[in-house]
Amino acid sequence: MPNPVSRRTFLGAAAGGAAASVAPRSVDAAERHLPVRLEKPLRVESLSTPALLIDLAAFESNLAKMAESLKARGVGLRPHAKTHKCPVIAHKQFELGAIGICCAKVSEAEVMTDAGINDILITSPVVTKEKIDRVIACAKRIGHLQMVVDNTKTAQDFNDAAAAAGIVLSVIIDLDTGTRRTGIAHGEPALGLGQLIAKLPALKFEGLQAYAGQIMHVKGYEKRKARSEETIAKAVDTRALFEKNGLEVAVLSGGGTGTFDVDSNIEGITDIQAGSYPFMDLQYRAIGDSNSDVYDYFDPSLFVLSTAISKPVEQLITFDAGYKSFSTDAMNPEFRNVTGVVYHWGGDEHGMVQLKEPSQPIALGDKFELMVPHCDPTVNLYDYYHPYREGMVHELWPIAARGRSQ
């Protein structure tokens, strides 16, 4: 696995030491997977806002906690790159022992393939010839690509495309865990598909995917645990049925940030596909964990830096980050270090912050970190991360798969 080497530097500070817009206008496609080193490190407060920040202390602790926790249980970590969309972060996950990464979409997998990632599971089905051909093209370029399938026609189509390309494609059957979103039913329907795949010469059956997205945000640890155990038990039964019928199931991949500590204890699960754990978000904090009402085993590390820009009335102050700076599918953003204030959406570009009893003064021009409601779709709004340590940004990490939802 090649390590990302910073080959590009960028002059961070504007002439005369003025506040800098740190983002380079463009980064060559061939270098989007590399950190962009700043010639002169910048203080977080000098960044042009809105800016997406990573607090490296929290981020690194989250990466290490997940890696160590799964290592201790003898279960593989295959982090989902749909969350960060960033090859620099994927490489860091490999350095800590990840067995591969997941990608949600073919275009994400293409970016990760370009970045030298050698082991990818694509977790969403595709059916069109154009996408099938793109999957095969990625598979030809890397050591190990697994593709999910959930129906016989697509399995046949993948077999034909792989045969035409002269390769054998690794295939995982996507099980419908109750999401009713993708996947084939457990038991006999899945077995029938497995038996077909085993007979197709250009496909190699490798196992099952059982990701239960509907359970990840169930509030209350015991309730979530019970639902996940019940759901994963069906996948484990299906696994047993396959093996009874002579089909080896090398992989049973599932689990996410909300259930990793439950699913990784279940006999038969081989890989955990957690995505959000490096960053966490408000939605995940609200579900609670085994010790507390707040899920704080992982710390929030992803923030949007925003500036107070107007104060038309006494009790409100307007910030420069609105719908275009945060995902809007969950709750509202919250300040990291200020209490007694409430963020309300103020439109595409603005957040209107109600000053109830602010724990510190907020003046025009002040910049604050806000916690994000939902990390994945927030990340998809930005070109770069600004990772910082002790208040200083030394490099930018391109979000190379940003907007890659094809």
Ligand X SMILES: Cc1ncc(COP(=O)(O)O)c(C=O)c1O
Give the binding site for ligand X (CB under 6 A).
80, 83, 102, 123, 211, 213, 216, 256-258, 273-276
Q: Which two tokens stand for residue 156?
A: 């046949």
CB nearer ligand X, residue 156 or residue 380: 380
CB nearer ligand X, residue 62 or residue 123: 123
d(CA 245, CA 58): 46
CB nearer ligand X, residue 211 or residue 388: 211
CB of 88 to ligand X, least distance (A): 19
CB of 174 to ligand X, least distance (A): 8
3-state helix, strand, coil in the chain (%, to 5): 30, 25, 45
d(CA 240, CA 85): 35
Contact 353, 306 (CB under 8 A): no
91 sits in which H/E element: helix 87-95
CB of 307 to ligand X, least distance (A): 29
Contact 152, 196 (CB under 8 A): yes
**Nearest Cα to 333, choosing from 294, 378, 370, 385?**
370
Q: Which two tokens stand for residue 200?
A: 């197709």
CB nearer ligand X, residue 308 or residue 401: 401
Structure-token match 């201790």, residue found: 72
CB nearer ligand X, residue 27 or residue 193: 193
CB nearer ligand X, residue 211 or residue 303: 211
CB of 351 to ligand X, least distance (A): 24
CB of 273 to ligand X, least distance (A): 4
CB nearer ligand X, residue 238 or residue 273: 273
CB nearer ligand X, residue 97 or residue 213: 213
CB of 102 to ligand X, least distance (A): 6
CB of 253 to ligand X, least distance (A): 8
CB nearer ligand X, residue 271 or residue 369: 271
236 sits in which H/E element: helix 221-244
d(CA 51, CA 321): 9
d(CA 40, CA 228): 48
d(CA 356, CA 275): 35
Cis upstream peptide for 358 (omega within 30°)? no
CB of 383 to ligand X, least distance (A): 22
| Secondary structure of residue 164 in the 3-state scheme | helix
Which residues are paired to 392 by β-bridges? 43, 389
CB of 280 to ligand X, least distance (A): 10
d(CA 223, CA 37): 45
* DSSP state for residue 252 in the 8-state scheme: E
Structure-token match 């949007």, residue found: 304
